[in-house]
Amino acid sequence: MKISIFGLGYVGAVSAGCLASDGHEVIGVDPNRTKVDLINQGVTPIIEKDIGEMIAATVKSGLLRATVDVRDAVLGSDMSLICVGTPSQLNGNLDLSHVRKVCEQIGAAIKDKDAFHVVVARSTMLPGSMSNLVIPTLEAASGKKAGVDFGVCNNPEFLREGTAVYDYYHPPKTVIGESDERAGALLVELYAKMEAPLVRTNVETAEMVKYTDNTWHAVKVAFANEIGNICKAVGIDGHKVMEIFCQDTKLNLSSYYMKPGFAFGGSCLPKDVRALTYKARSLDLDLPLLNSILPSNQKQVDKGLKMIMDKGARKVGILGFSFKAGTDDLRESPLVDVIEHLLGKGYELKLYDKNVNLAALTGANQDYILNHIPHISKLMVDSMEEVLAFAETIVVGNGAAEFKALPGLLKPGQSVVDLVRISTEQSGGQYDGICW
């Protein structure tokens, strides 16, 4: 394939060298004449393992060249990769001026091109940047329609400095956000030989993936450091603790707990976070990340409560109110918090959870429901059907399998607040998911 790459900085130079080494004809484009001259001399403009040899070899073979002429590059290629910088502004927002300028230039060249051209953004941009800036700019400059006359994709890169060439050929995943199937299929061809999960999705999701990844990496660093600070203060080797922590790939380093939804609860997580942060305070440690966990969790409870109240109905049914499906444990269930707030504001409630059966409750659970929340036991009913016959707003509070049938059982005028994503089907009533 013939490919033009806009921006010969870190991502652009690595992409150019790797794509040319794979046999593609690559034209690098940059307004900096020094970078262009270096590439044409077979010299890398960046310091990165292996890329120097790759650029030298591909320039010599004729598969890689560089230019300052945008029109020449676009007309001489099938696909353009945008790899220009998106630096931070003083307020934290992105400076997309380089992206805008490149899109204006590419669009002007596409205007005079008959063949279908694909524009791929590899620059890191916030969700909405493609639809609000990239696509409108390309369309305005070209006079053509994205997804019809030319294709647009967002293709985030996952390259680490120092191992970028290795990362290019061994990505954790390949994500393609596409304006249309034709554009996505052409981009897929670049990665045909790579052994990595391939995800084709919409443009906005692809934009968000890169920020989710990088923010998660930042959270991991901050988490390990704060745990390490506690460990040092109490005379424990923080490295040893985290080595043991990382051996757990079933829960700790896995997809478990990583689905957006309602707040956490139960007898362990709230209590243990509370105890650890109390210990840190007693040691005069300032740990912003760990200290933010419980307030963040409470914000999710508040959000769920607001969603229910915003529906405007006074009769509310709760399906599942133990802290998770498959248990009868109500201790620190965030749904109990929601129920008590609704009762305090005068709402009529009916609750159903087959696992929360007073006759079967024993020990701590029995004591909790009889002595701490006895008013809630009076609201419990024996079936989901009783809740549906009563409620104007139905709240799905945990992921019990029986609730999956809910969308098909709704009556006209009933609304649903789903806190767990019980079903992707959203017909049969007004549906509102807490994070989707």
Say if residues 32 and 8 touch (Cβ distance below 8 Å): yes
Q: Is 111 annotated as a binding residue?
A: no
Those residues with Cβ within 8 angstroms of residue 322's Cβ, 6 or more apart along the chain or in another chain: 328, 329, 330, 333, 335, 353, 355, 356, 398
Q: Is 433 annotated as a binding residue?
A: no
Distance CA 254, CA 252 (A): 6
Give how far Cα 129 sits from Cα of 93, 154, 207, 215, Å. Answer: 12, 10, 8, 18
Q: Is 86 annotated as a binding residue?
A: yes
Q: Where in 286-387 does DSSP place strands (E)? A: 315-319, 348-352
Q: Is 271 annotated as a binding residue?
A: yes
Give how far Cα 421 sits from Cα of 96, 323, 327, 335, 400, Å. Answer: 35, 15, 18, 15, 11
Q: Is 158 annotated as a binding residue?
A: yes
CA 389 remoteness from chain centre: 38
Q: Is 35 annotated as a binding residue?
A: yes
Q: Where in 105-197 does DSSP place strands (E)? A: 118-121, 151-154, 174-178
Q: Is 34 annotated as a binding residue?
A: no
Residue 159 corresponds to which tokens in the numbers above? 């390259």
CB atoms near residue 254 (< 10 Å): 10
Q: Phi-psi category of 287—alpha, beta or left, where left has phi over 0 and alpha has psi -120 to 50? A: beta
Q: Which amino acid is at 336?
A: V
Q: Phi-psi category of 46—alpha, beta or left, where left has phi over 0 and alpha has psi -120 to 50? A: beta
User: What residues pair up with 415 in beta bridges, in sequence order?
Assistant: 393, 430
Q: Is 324 annotated as a binding residue?
A: yes
Query: Buried b / exposed e across 81-117, counting CB within 10 Å, b at 16+?
Result: bbbbbbeeeeeeebebebbbebbebbbbbbeebeeeb
Q: Is 100 annotated as a binding residue?
A: no
Q: Is 269 annotated as a binding residue?
A: no
Q: Is 392 annotated as a binding residue?
A: no
Enzyme catalytic residues: 268
Q: Is 161 annotated as a binding residue?
A: yes
Q: Is 160 annotated as a binding residue?
A: yes
User: Binding site residues for substrate, as ranges?
Assistant: 158-161, 210, 257-261, 265, 324
User: Binding site residues, as ranges?
Assistant: 30, 35, 86, 124, 158-161, 210, 257-261, 265, 271, 324, 331
User: Binding site residues for NAD(+), as ranges?
Assistant: 30, 35, 86, 124, 161, 271, 331
